[in-house]
Amino acid sequence: MPLPFAGVSILDRAQSRTGSSEAETLQRVIGRARQAERLGFTRFWVAEHHGVPGIAGSAPAVLAAAVLSATTTIRVGTGGIMLPNHQPLVVAEQAATLAALSGGRFDLGIGRSLGFTSAVRAALRTGREEADRFGQDIAELLAFLDGTAPVTARPQDAGRTPVFVLATGQGVDIAAKAGLAVVLGGPALFRDGQPALERYRASFRPSAWWDRPHVTASLNVAVAETTEDARRLLLPEARALAVSRTRGYFPPLEAVPSEPPTAREEGLIEESLATAVYGTVPEVERQLAEVQARTGADELLVSGGAYDLGAQEASDERLAILTRP
């Protein structure tokens, strides 16, 4: 029985692995996108991170272009372009160009996250003031795209490119006011997702991009032969995330940590796994059905990176079985 979602997609953050170059990491992203297309996934998205040692994906528009050129049918998007780092007109021009070159296969996902460190934020010439302009910048971006601004983004898009907001807190309200789809994931989806989604659906205003509310649930998902195998698949990223919060840097994924995690990191690892979905095919099917029933999400966006590439490929294949009619 297929999963109760209208679409199931993959977000690849281009996380690097010990013993592998960052160029090889980007090539693996393209290879995974080709596999996602063969397996019938709905969308394949890439992300934006700057100056993060363990992540090679810094230029989502460029990487999305490479993925689009390597595929033919799957939708490709950004999850997301961080609007505080860019001028809205430039983002609109990039989105319109990618949509025109791909025959309309491009999705524009946008977020408001700032750089990982103060040095990165300084290099990007961005900060809290830019993040606080998020709602205004979205309005400008949409006006550039639909031709209602004093300047029209070229090539003209006329509101055809689907626009998604990677939403936390205020972002949900901004998306509803602008008539955009929302992507809600991680702890926010489990902790306070229900009230936020109720607010989003109640205050949604139809737009040229979406005529009704559209919710994508983003979750780390791993599917394996056993529950423990699936848990092990998620551990490297959970460790890296814990290190990023306690030591101030995001390390490349590795099979076994070079030093044991602290007690605080152990707790963060368990928190991360508690908001993930993992297990055998029947277990994951049941967990995802529960997520959809609780959130009413229209789509599922699968995130999470594994050190074991073969196991990750097998996980994608097992998940694809659940997406087929």
Rounded mean pLDDT, 147-163: 89
Q: What is the pLDDT of residue 314?
A: 97
pLDDT score at 167: 84
Which of the following CATH numbers is that of domain 7-323: 3.40.50.1000, 3.20.20.30, 3.40.1160.10, 2.40.50.180? 3.20.20.30
Angle, CA 6 vertex, CA 3 and CA 189 arms, to 5°: 75
Q: Tell me the per-residue pLDDT of 4-43, one tens digit each, with 9 for 90 and over.
A: 899 999 999 999 988 889 999 999 999 999 999 999 999 9
Q: Which of 25, 26, 21, 53 is nearest to 119 (CA)?
A: 53
Average pLDDT score over the chain: 91
- pTM score of the predicted model: 0.94
106 confidence band (pLDDT: 50, 70, 90): very high
- Spatial neighbors of 171 by CB under 8 A, at least 6 apart, are 111, 112, 134, 165, 182
- Three-class secondary structure of residue 240 per DSSP: helix
pLDDT greater than 80 at residue 257:
no
How is the chain split into domains, by residue range? 7-323
Interval 158-164 mean pLDDT: 87
The answer to whether 71 and 94 are in contact (CB under 8 A) is no
- pLDDT tier for residue 187 given thresholds of 50, 70 and 90: low
d(CA 251, CA 189): 25
**Structure confidence at residue 243 (pLDDT):** 87
Q: Establish how many alpha carbons lie within 13 A of residue 80's alpha carbon, considering only the half-sphere containing its beta carbon.
A: 27
Kindly report which listed range (116-125, 147-156, 290-299) carries the lowest average pLDDT score: 116-125
Q: What pLDDT does 120 receive?
A: 85
Q: What is the pLDDT of residue 129?
A: 87
What's the rounded Cα separation, in Å, for the pair 60 and 183? 17
pLDDT at position 34 is 98
Residue 85 has what DSSP assignment? G
